[in-house]
Structure 1
């Protein structure tokens, strides 16, 4: 019986094979594919002069190949400019753009990515050979009449300038640095950092530094590049000697520091001449019914900056929604170099220490790192999708990009969300119970009607900037979306909403850049 079962089993297998003999095909060989790697492909095949790049041909189905390297380049282990090896290592000794060519022959047609080509493929790979990073710097002192005098940057030379004057530093470089870092001892600002975008657009070309303190101060600048790595440092020891001046002492800034008011002068102040009674603060908040003068209980110099006078107020704090001013009635206030400070009145006090919370989030506040796909429709449908939005380099307030929005007619509305590459909305780190001011830079292109643009967290549609014929046209301006108070449970992902239905059908095109959301304190 067992023998009979075996016979039946093998007979069935034979029948199955026989029935499908005409349909079965043996597996075919893998198709030919063009695949080439370079060791610096992730960095646009950039290398510093004297540096090396490896090229590897791992294509399937190659029957022959010829690499050809440019003049001045050297292949490891060879004096020839050509090679048939699958991997070559090339040193580049001349600055500029160069081509490494690869001629391949395949046994049959070959896929290049997903496109089927012929059996002969010729490819050229561009290599950018950079000079070593090299910094050059010039400096000019600017007198109060605008006259510029070049400083001597020779090592060991110290240049005398009058207290309170500005120095213009002019930067140039070779080797395409990606970062520039300044340190200005004794200067305002004390440091300055520029990134690659700012270098390319020319923002880093000139830096203005005011010297308010007496003494000798050094300057240094470091320019660097991450890949291929390179850096150059220029250190100028005791470049500047700030000496007493007879020019007027200028009030260069008035702002809050915590609960105090800071008066930022162009020169250091003699601490023995600071008197609280010579200063008066006036405070107005129409919504709260406040219009009063506030006594200054004490005045002293900032421990870290002798050009800053700090005023303490009597039982009062200045809030963001207040309009506060300071007046000085001449007493004995004198600079450290002996110049009396002139009277000033009703100088507006700004709120200091404001921080854009978008800078610590993934929300691309400057539009520099976004694609069109990162601005997606919110899914409302209908007229809310009747707009176009694109990341463009046509205009930019800072950097090189902005968000261009176009609304063609009266039925054009927009509901849009800034999303990451996975489609998830970028969250903003707002906190329940805190209040924020929302702004952005806007450029309106010849619009004569009326529309609204909103940054909304809570579907109340109150954080709106009005766009109209009365708004600045064909220039960048800061638009306020008003005050937003965050509450528990509200979205961290803002909806960018706009409408043109009240514009009489007039087309609207505008550009948006540099979103800002800063925490502010309002008068209770």
Structure 2
């Protein structure tokens, strides 16, 4: 009988033997011994690491099976050197050490003949067994960088010259798309962008967009590594870009509360401190429908981030349960390259705290997951009448977002899961209040079929301690702003208990006979500071 088995990851099987000796008056003729049981046991020195090795590094193969009569290891022609042997393709030794000299996946085969039908685990599988071990030989880690300026419409523009002191001239407020190609299968990335937004990233992605808002000359850094087999690579360029004054209008990219409760106006490039007149700014605050007097104490350019203008309040701050809005009447405020800032009215302040969904597993920004990681949760109709895909057409941050379409009179119920289908958890602390936020970009929206029915909405449920009465976040009412990113949030204490929770996201379109289409990005749960 010749039975063949093939596997990529060698498995160490438990084995045993039985030896029974009976004696009478120490007479050897009376000894009775049962035959030895045959059992296959194969291992490698890298079996716990998917049998990956560096080029020209060694891996040891071991056959410690019980009851072996003969064995033959067979290596592919011309890919390995067997230690202590002139024959580099076959060996009958129980322990074989080999050095692999060719990159790629290589099959090492073992043919064994046993004295009796051999056990594999708890099954007997015959006296002749064949095993295949796949060894992956990796080269050194390497990386190659390209970069392109992005046009105002988001399309890819002129390529940058890559090299030290190349000083590619880029107008302030512009975005550069960095693209990296790696070899050697690194597991971890570390990006560094001097003078950019973001300044660093650990995302394992092929592309990252970086916006430059401050004048100056800035470098670039990238490193990649893997733990087993160990390897790493570092790529740095000094003075890769030179940010010069822009002829384009300055834009207000965000209004966010700072950690100490001030208000930060995030402009697309550096602002000139001497042009600030605090009387051109106003702040209004309400809390639970009650107006809170707000007096501006100062308006200053952040000394560390020249594109951020900080508004401080007199003997007060903004809190997560406040509704705070900011207005600016055009005056003397200009960029450092003398471009005037435009007026804006009643723009809301967004709270951006430490996002506990940023835990290394929850893909809160839709950058590293697929639609299969956001599956339907089997509530039945109408909650199955939707479509979700990961899209790069719009992104509030990063490269991707979730593009969602509610079918006419449909709905959605989804959760975030790992590759095994298990819901990905996040951890909250007892007695704390959290702000649950989401950014949406609505393209298609219509009112309910009658005014007495519900508008489309999103609602965030959690388990355990689900609050089924949670409010819409957001409600897509008839006055909802279209074709722009809008932030929506609500506060909760998750039942006041500590522990791991999971999220479900419900979408409602049951009262609409038309499609509701929108993008969703940057889910967040952050600790809230409430007004005393």
Q: Taking structure 1 as the reference length, what is the TM-score of the superposition?
A: 0.71
CA distance, structure 2, for counterparts of residue 269 and residue 450 of structure 1: 38
In the alignment, what sits opposite 2:5?
none
CA distance, structure 1, for counterparts of residue 475 and residue 492 of structure 2: 23
In the alignment, what sits opposite 2:237?
236
User: What is the 5 A alignment of 1:85-124?
Assistant: 85-124=93-132
Which of residues 169, 184, 187 in structure 1 aligns to 2:178?
A: 169
Question: Are the aligned partners of 2:321 and 2:491 in contact in 1 as well (CA < 8 Å)?
Answer: no
Which of residues 33, 51, 71 in structure 2 aligns to 1:65?
A: 71
The farther-off stretch of 222-231 and 136-145 is 136-145
Which of residues 156, 170, 187 in structure 2 aligns to 1:178?
A: 187
CA distance, structure 1, for counterparts of residue 159 and residue 300 of structure 2: 36
User: What is the 5 A alignment of 1:23-38?
Assistant: 28-38=34-44
Structure with bigger helix share is 1
Alpha-carbon offset, residue 319 of structure 1: 2.5
In the alignment, what sits opposite 1:205?
206
User: What is the 5 A alignment of 1:196-275?
Assistant: 204-257=205-258, 258-275=260-277
CA distance, structure 1, for counterparts of residue 240 and residue 218 of structure 2: 6
CA distance, structure 1, for counterparts of residue 63 and residue 176 of structure 2: 55
In the alignment, what sits opposite 2:348?
348
Alpha-carbon offset, residue 78 of structure 1: 1.6
In the alignment, what sits opposite 1:325?
325
SS state of the match for residue 170, structure 2? Answer: strand
Question: Are the aligned partners of 1:438 and 1:482 in contact in 2 as well (CA < 8 Å)?
Answer: yes
Alpha-carbon offset, residue 35 of structure 1: 0.6
Which of residues 364, 369, 372 in structure 2 aligns to 1:399?
A: 369
CA shift in 2, pair 1:141/1:314, >3 Å? same
CA distance, structure 2, for counterparts of residue 495 and residue 163 of structure 1: 41
Alpha-carbon offset, residue 440 of structure 1: 8.6
Question: Are the aligned partners of 1:188 and 1:209 in contact in 2 as well (CA < 8 Å)?
Answer: yes
Question: Are the aligned partners of 1:456 and 1:463 in contact in 2 as well (CA < 8 Å)?
Answer: no
User: What is the 5 A alignment of 1:280-319?
Assistant: 280-285=282-287, 287-290=288-291, 294-319=294-319
RMSD between aligned alpha carbons?
4.2
User: What is the 5 A alignment of 1:12-23?
Assistant: none
CA distance, structure 2, for counterparts of residue 493 and residue 28 of structure 1: 55
Task: Render the CA deviation track for 1:390-420: whole Å, top value 9, x for unaligned.
Answer: xxxxxx874253455224589xxx9x9x9xx
Task: Render the CA deviation track for 1:248-306: whole Å, top value 9, x for unaligned.
Answer: 12212210112210011122111111221111112344x3333x773322111112111
Alpha-carbon offset, residue 75 of structure 1: 0.7
In the alignment, what sits opposite 1:382?
none
The farther-off stretch of 448-457 and 175-184 is 448-457
CA shift in 2, pair 1:156/1:78, >3 Å? farther
Runs of 4+ in structure 1 off by over 6 angstroms are 439-442, 448-453, 464-470, 477-481, 495-499, 512-515
SS state of the match for residue 306, structure 1? Answer: coil
SS state of the match for residue 48, structure 2? Answer: helix
Which of residues 276, 279, 295 in structure 2 aligns to 1:277?
A: 279
CA shift in 2, pair 1:122/1:479, >3 Å? farther
User: Which protein is bigger by CA-based radius of gyration?
Assistant: 1
CA distance, structure 1, for counterparts of residue 169 and residue 118 of structure 2: 71
Task: Render the CA deviation track for 1:443-502: whole Å, top value 9, x for unaligned.
Answer: xxxxx99999842555765458799999xxxxxx999995323677x4635588999xxx
CA shift in 2, pair 1:28/1:408, >3 Å? farther
CA shift in 2, pair 1:243/1:497, >3 Å? closer
Alpha-carbon offset, residue 211 of structure 1: 1.1
Question: Are the aligned partners of 1:283 and 1:294 in contact in 2 as well (CA < 8 Å)?
Answer: yes
Question: Are the aligned partners of 1:47 and 1:53 in contact in 2 as well (CA < 8 Å)?
Answer: yes
SS state of the match for residue 350, structure 2? Answer: coil
In the alignment, what sits opposite 1:76?
83
1:430 aligns with 2:422: no
1:131 aligns with 2:132: no
CA shift in 2, pair 1:183/1:480, >3 Å? closer
Question: Are the aligned partners of 1:264 and 1:309 in contact in 2 as well (CA < 8 Å)?
Answer: yes
Alpha-carbon offset, residue 148 of structure 1: 0.8
SS state of the match for residue 128, structure 1? Answer: strand
CA distance, structure 1, for counterparts of residue 439 and residue 304 of structure 2: 34
Question: Are the aligned partners of 1:281 and 1:293 in contact in 2 as well (CA < 8 Å)?
Answer: no
CA distance, structure 2, for counterparts of residue 513 and residue 333 of structure 1: 32
